[in-house]
Amino acid sequence: MILNYKNSKIHYTTEGEGEAVVLLHGFLESLEMWNDFIPELSRTHQVICIDLLGHGKTDCLGYVHTMEQMADAVYAVVQSLNIESAHFIGHSMGGYVSLALAEAHPELFIGLCLMNSSFDADNNERKLIRTRACKMAQMNYKVLINMSFANLFTEESKIKHETEYHSALQLALKTPLQGYIAAQEGMKLRPYRFESYKNLKAHKLIIIGRKDGLINSEQLINQIKQTDINYIEFSEGHMSSIENKSDLSYNILRFIEK
């Protein structure tokens, strides 16, 4: 399905009936990452998957897509479907977008699951890495995507999940250069949102990969002590939808059925 938004197109899918669940993919992904989860989730819920700005079949709006701009686009889709409340599950960048949306529209949230994601802002080192990546992308985009994507998996995981890894990589390579740069620039600008998440009146869950090189799991767990934010730690890394698929499916169902 296509929603016309600010002279651009937002691509999304919806399947099933019942309480709404909105699934938001991460950087260099698309709504296709959720394909294996939709059949089970849509038995009891309306499942909405959205291609974020500059990803999948959704257009770019510029050369900076802030998390707030992405959240506004998600909100436009949700409004077009007349959804008043929903569970949100955001993978990596999709978690950052969900947090921005929760800050603007907290009444919309029944639950918010940050999957391989966090409420932290980029530190200076991370911002520098993103800036360098954007410059490199303009010189040899395909090589950069291959390198960036490989870093999301351990060597063992790439071998164990070889087919899924290469399928996900091919999707990543379809992300346009403009979408890549705009998302990187937007992630650099995102603020620290711990207080917003902590104070959200909704079910809250963080899914952590023990081998995730992008998330400081020990620090994250310490930050959420003495809050009502729950967490689950999986055995593998950043790509739980591939590396811990059955565990993820089980825990998403538990989360949305609370």
Look up the CATH superfamily of 2-256: Alpha/Beta hydrolase fold, catalytic domain (3.40.50.1820)
Report which residue type is found at 68: E
Q: What is the DSSP string of 10-68?
A: EEEEEE--SSEEEEE--TT--GGGGTTTHHHHTTTSEEEEEPPTTSTTPPP-SS---HH
How many other β-carbons are positioned within 10 Å of the β-carbon of residue 215? Answer: 20
pTM above 0.85, yes or no: yes
Within a 13 Å sphere around the CA of 144, how many CA atoms are in the beta-carbon half?
19
Task: Quote the CA–CA distance of 156 and 158 in Å, as a whole number.
Answer: 6
- Tens-binned pLDDT, residue by residue, of the chain (258 aa): 999 999 999 999 999 999 999 999 999 999 999 999 999 999 999 999 999 999 999 999 999 999 999 999 999 999 999 999 999 999 999 999 999 999 999 999 999 999 999 999 999 999 999 999 999 999 999 999 999 898 898 889 999 999 999 999 999 999 999 999 999 999 999 999 999 999 999 999 999 999 999 999 999 999 999 999 999 999 999 999 999 999 999 999 999 997
CA dihedral 180, 191, 130, 59 (to 10 degrees): 10
